[in-house]
Chains A and B, each alone.
Chain A
Amino acid sequence: MNLSETFRIAISSLLINRMRSALTTLGIVIGVGAVIGLVSLGRGVEAFIAAEFQTLGSNILEISSSQPNSPTRSRIAPLTTIEAADLANPFTAPDIRQIAATYESSGIITAGSERTQAAITGVTANYAEVRSWPVMLGTFITPADVEDTQRVAVIGLDVVETLFGSREANPVGQSIQVNDRSFTVIGVMSERGGSFGISEDGAVIVPITTAQTRLDNARARDGGYLLTRMYVEVIDEEAVEDARQDIETYLNQAHGIIFDDEQDYTISSASDILSIVNQISSLLTVFLVMIASISLLVGGIGVMNIMLVSVTERTREIGLRKAVGARQGDILAQFLMESIMLSFIGGILGIALGWVVSVLVTAFVADLTVTVSPDAVILATGISTLVGVFFGYYPARRAASMKPIDALRFE
């Protein structure tokens, strides 16, 4: 008996018990649908996170001060403009293209009768470029603004909304008060959003020198000014590790650090954060898929159960088939084909279900695009077929090994 014949027989016997076949398949549909849905959802979340971090730039290193891990050293030597200038020197770190530095504080912003508390970020003129964060209206801070400690500000959309009533308002040219000093708004940053609920759209961006000297007195001991953060742009992605080495070497020396655990700064890259987040999210995906697999297992047991019922119910049919010449292999193949088809069809419908789920999630959850990837489809099809083989084998074996005469006599 050939495969197409086996196939035909399996189809017709499944059709004879339509309702039962459909219900059995449903178990697999739900199991596979859950697996597909969750895998796709996990992928979608990963892609979403990756996109979020992509805005940080994959060739950007971020240096900020941090508490040392060492028990014997707790003092933090702050980052300074002198250090930034040294690092920007090709002799210190040849892989660094440029450094955007910030001095961050917060203050009270007023425009007319509106007041708000906002983060004030003093930045170098290359900040927008290094952070790939262009202005939407007006202009960004220029080197001249920094040089001349100009009282100009570029504000985020959240600030525009709070101070000027709407995100659509154009505040360029308007005057605002930052800690009672008057600043001219020269631009509005494009919408940035933010990672994990911390939006950068609430920032008031001013020249770094203005922040350090007019809004604050941020003199450092080494004769420069204090910095909160440095965004280091490395010439390309491959050089990121070399640059990191150079930065560590320089800062360790500048800060008098001998052991790694004394480090009072952190260098992080987008890919560092991304890989940690990805680890967490793929762990979560694996966990969810494991739970979904349990429903697939239950579906498989359903297939086995129905196949056992079917074998018992069709004992006389099996006897007859054997009486007219079916060999053990023929009967085995027939029942195995039935269970494989049940779970295979379940798998296909489950993929459709998973697809529907992902379309719905994409439609209703903002920013999240969930797509059913081809490998998930292949996986689901493969797994459901395996489920059919695995859970169908025992019933099929039982059918195949019946003695014809016993099967025929079965009441």
Chain B
Amino acid sequence: MSQQQRSGRPSSDRLSPSRKKAVIDIRNITKTYKMGTFDLKVLKGVTLKIYPGEFLSIMGPSGSGKSTLMNILGALDTPTSGKYLLDGEDVSQLSEDQLARIRNKKIGFVFQSFNLLKRTEAIRQVELPLIYSTNVRNRSRLAKRALESVGLGQRLDHLPSELSGGQQQRVAIARALVTSPSVVLADEPTGNLDSRSGTEVMQIFQRLNEQQGITTVFVTHDPWIARHTQRVIMLRDGKIIADERVKEPLIAGEVERPSDAEELQGIFEETYYGGDESEYT
């Protein structure tokens, strides 16, 4: 169980990532959509290394290519060009079934819209990735443990309709964790949640990263949420325009979100806050 191995690793290890092998290593990734007669270049050469144990957020205005990048990182989509090494394995040119194996073994994906199966108990939701992987015994034990790690040990048999939005997202997180993936990718996981549930979910991600050293990549357009991560990537028009460490990551739930939006400005050198809110979804 790599989850257990990781949890035993001292946290100082994660603070010097340069000496370690990157979990995610993308080089000059591009993504172009053919839109009839013209090409829509969504990613215009993205290069990025993410190291084991990192907790990283990707920010950027709506349409900047965050989801496109996440989908490529999650092996849900393939880049038009560029190289993608996941755990040292080149996954940029794999077949559909090989990608399925990668998604199953190495990636845990958390969606903005939860994407739970309807009318299915929490424990079954979490077991789902395990039924597609070979040689997994004790499916329900693993699923139960994953649900416990997101604080839903008492909700194993609940249906999605019997859970709050925050709880549903926690089921989805448990589902992402259950295979002990190399990296957990979350595309705006708090986007559909109220701020209290959002904080809850942040707490879980932080705790999992802290205690089990789970590498986590997080898309958000909320600078306050981003301040809870260790490193922030800024994306604009399909390019990385900033890649910075957060000076002092906030601990979810410890500090109240400032009600005054003004106060948020100036936290980062580059800021996209202000103007029309709908631009930042």
Contact = CB atoms under 8 A, between A and B. Distances in A.
B21 interface: no
B117 interface: yes
Which has the most chain B C-beta neighbours within 10 Å: A316, A321, A404? A404
Contacts of A12: 120
A49 B128 CA distance: 60
Interface stretch (A81-89, A114-122, A322-330): A322-330
B99 to A, nearest CB: 8
B128 A405 contact: no
Contacts of B158: none
A227 to B, nearest CB: 83
A275 to B, nearest CB: 58
A1 interface: yes
A238 interface: no
A403 B72 CA distance: 13
B129 A324 contact: yes
Given A323-B103, A405-B71, A1 B111 contact: no
B115 A316 contact: yes
Nearest to B74: A323
A325 B107 CA distance: 9
Contacts of B77: 403-405
A9 B130 CA distance: 13
Interface residues of A, number: 23
Interface in B98-128: 100-101, 103-105, 109, 111, 115, 117-120, 128
Given A16-B119, A320-B115, A327 B100 contact: yes
B96 interface: yes
Contacts of B105: 325
Given A317-B117, A405-B77, A408-B115, A324 B96 contact: no
A325 B103 contact: yes
Given A5-B131, A317-B117, A325 B101 contact: yes
Interface residues of B, number: 25
A326 B97 CA distance: 8
A357 B128 CA distance: 44
Contacts of B129: 324-325
B76 interface: yes
Contact of A321 (B101, B109, B132): B132
B175 interface: yes
Which has the most chain A C-beta neighbours within 10 Å: B77, B101, B129, B131? B131
B134 to A, nearest CB: 9
Which has the most chain A C-beta neighbours within 10 Å: B71, B100, B101, B118? B100
A327 B76 contact: no
Contacts of B71: 405
A408 B119 contact: no
Contacts of A327: 96-97, 100-101, 132
Nearest to A12: B120
A405 B96 contact: no
A323 B76 contact: yes
Interface in A314-340: 316-317, 319-330
A322 B109 CA distance: 11
Which has the most chain B C-beta neighbours within 10 Å: A321, A322, A327, A329? A327
Main SS of chain A's interface residues? Answer: helix
A323 B101 CA distance: 10
A321 B105 CA distance: 13
A324 B91 CA distance: 16
B271 interface: no
A328 B103 CA distance: 13
Which has the most chain A C-beta neighbours within 10 Å: B76, B109, B119, B120? B76
Interface string A229-243: 000000000000000
Interface in A358-411: 403-405, 408
Contacts of A325: 100-101, 103-105, 129, 132-133, 179
Which has the most chain B C-beta neighbours within 10 Å: A9, A317, A319, A323? A323
Contact of B100 (A319, A320, A322): A322
Contacts of B175: 324
A4 to B, nearest CB: 10
Given A5-B131, A404-B76, A408-B76, A324 B103 contact: yes
Interface in A160-205: none
A12 B104 CA distance: 22
Which has the most chain B C-beta neighbours within 10 Å: A9, A320, A403? A320
Contacts of A326: 100, 132
Nearest to A330: B132
Interface string B127-145: 0110111000000000000
A320 B129 CA distance: 10
Across the A-B interface, the 7 shortest Cβ-Cβ residue pairs? A325-B104, A325-B132, A324-B129, A327-B100, A405-B77, A327-B97, A405-B76
20 contacts: A1-B131, A316-B115, A317-B118, A321-B128, A322-B76, A322-B103, A323-B74, A323-B76, A324-B103, A324-B104, A324-B175, A325-B133, A327-B96, A327-B97, A327-B100, A328-B96, A404-B77, A405-B77, A408-B76, A408-B111
Given A317-B117, A323-B115, 13 more contacts: A316-B115, A320-B117, A321-B132, A322-B76, A322-B100, A323-B74, A323-B103, A323-B109, A324-B103, A327-B97, A327-B132, A329-B97, A403-B96
